[in-house]
Amino acid sequence: EQCPEEGRLPDAGPPSPAAHLRDVFYRMGLNDKEIVALSGAHTLGRSRPERSGWGKPETKYTKDGPGAPGGQSWTVQWLKFDNSYFKDIKERRDNDLLVLPTDAVLFEDPSFKEYAEKYAVDQDPFFKDYAEAHA
């Protein structure tokens, strides 16, 4: 009874994606800056609705692989590690890019927003903070 509905990430959506992120990451000893930095790993990869319950089956960015085609990416160049995740989530101009509630909240929650804004503007602090949090 503690498992999420099949195909859904636990509590990633409403009512409180910020609380969900904190529940998951605080118990690992991470703080808000580290949560935001590690969320930036979504600059890589894709979500597949048949596996996670989130995203589109295919977009203009994922229809031709590499690897198995399909899914929905958070960024246009979903195999390049950079700060585009933060830029794209902040701008939300492309419906083919995925924005989960736990992504959007990075620019809504005041504590998360401080770091997300900084990373959207400057890749160097993102790389530094990500490396520290990942280690």
Architecture of domain 31-44+74-134: Orthogonal Bundle (1.10)
What percent of the chain is modeled with pLDDT above 90?
70
Per-residue model confidence as pLDDT tens digits over 3-46? 555 544 555 666 789 998 998 899 899 999 999 999 999 999 99
Contact between 82 and 38 (Cβ < 8 Å): no
- Supply the pLDDT for residue 14: 65
Continuous H helices in 45-122: 49-52, 84-91, 101-104, 110-121
Per-residue model confidence as pLDDT tens digits over 85-113? 999 999 988 999 999 999 999 999 999 99
Residue 132 has pLDDT above 50, yes or no: yes
- Supply the pLDDT for residue 93: 87
Q: Whole-structure pTM over 0.85, yes or no?
A: yes
Per-residue model confidence as pLDDT tens digits over 47-80? 998 887 788 999 999 998 787 899 999 999 999 9
Identify the residue whose tokens are 């997300």: 116
**Mean model confidence pLDDT for the chain:** 89
Q: Which residues, in sequence order, are CB contacts of 79 under 8 Å at separation 6+?
A: 44, 66
- Supply the pLDDT for residue 98: 95
Residue 46: in which H helix or E strand, if any?
strand 46-47
CA distances from 134 to 6, 34, 64, 66, 130 (A): 29, 8, 30, 26, 6
- Supply the pLDDT for residue 39: 96
- Supply the pLDDT for residue 16: 85
Residue ranges covered by each domain of the chain = 31-44+74-134
What is the number of helices (H) and of strands (E) in the chain?
7, 2
Residue 28 φ then ψ, to 5°? -95, 0
